Structure 1
Amino acid sequence: MTGGATRGELWRAVHAERAALADHLADLRDDEWARPSLCGDWTVEEAVAHLTAGASIGIVRWLISMAGARFDDGVHNRRRLDEHRGATPAETLRNFRAVVTSTTAPTNDVAAWLGEVVVHGQDVMRPLGRAHAPAIEAVTEVARFYAGRDFTVDSRTLAKGLRWEASDGPFAGGAGPLVTGSTLALTMAMAGRAVFCDDLTGPGVPILRERCR
């Protein structure tokens, strides 16, 4: 997948990451489902329901939902999250498993939707004290997308003026004070997750940490 993935390769990576996350969540206790994730005020269960929602809505329905929310992302996300959250965590997980192989998405930016499952997967795994390292090839595609474009997160803005170099893969870019670490940690930092700055080194890290706040 290095050197620029095809749409088919990106979708296969999305499906693989969804399946891996679902397997990791299979033995969670109810109190773990209720634990805060790294994504705002969402719990682990809410973050998973958000992923299900994103894999269940195409462009037309997304536009209708956004219009109904007066183009407020927070309102839209909460409504769709609530729609796909089950009556119990077990049902929420079943709903998520049902969309593992979905290719439905609000836009054609498949790398962004790969980013959704990579980032939100870490949003839930890190607070649970569980480790999951997505494939380097998949995370590299997300890192490249994030460095080049603001989309679901303001990653390009956050990355501007810094030099990014992965210690475990081919991702590199930008110019300025160096930030180095695993491709996953770089990607999560570009997504604004300040806790992953602890996994990075280089003179650009204090700048990055301040931006993540």
Structure 2
Amino acid sequence: MSSNNLKALSFLVSALAIVQILMAADPDILVDYVAPDNAEGSFFTFTGFRTIAQGPPPPAFRVTKASMKEFPALLGQSVSYAALQFPAGSINPPHTHPRSAELLLVAQGTLQVGFVDTNNKLFTSTLQTGDMFIFPKGLVHFQHNAYDNQTALALSVFGSANAGTVSIPSTLFNSTIDDSVLALAFKTDVATIQTLKKGFAPQ
């Protein structure tokens, strides 16, 4: 391959990489905010977390999101929130956020948290009330309330109005991926995969 062809190929690969990086971020808006013409203060107010402050703890892990879908005023603002409620012994299963890092603050209780990097290295920590932990964008991570006698509450902020969530167990075992493909991937048999899928079937 000639030097000019190599330079052209290098430029093309670099340009495609930059386009991919730009596409992964929230689009910049050219106005202060995106709102209906008749918007008032209530458009910029989210009240969805009131149930957390006023209600009893949930019976199972629950996440309450304040993303662009639930709070349209976030469109173009590159930020969103989530409140994570952990009854005793509950877990937020391994998952990823393809469009944002996650900064988690433990507001109540204790959580075991961790993420796995692209070299399969696990980083874990036990967080107390007031502690924070960062989950890098796109990496598989989890949170677990290991205590059987106390609840936990955490707040997560994202650098995207729509960070997205890909739940690893649900994506694998509640999808139409062929059982034989999953059996090969997990080095097991189809019967085991089918048993696992039953646990993730919609209720």
- TM-score by length of structure 2 reads 0.30
Higher strand share goes to which structure? 2
Higher helix share goes to which structure? 1
- TM-score by length of structure 1 reads 0.29
Structure of greater Rg: 2
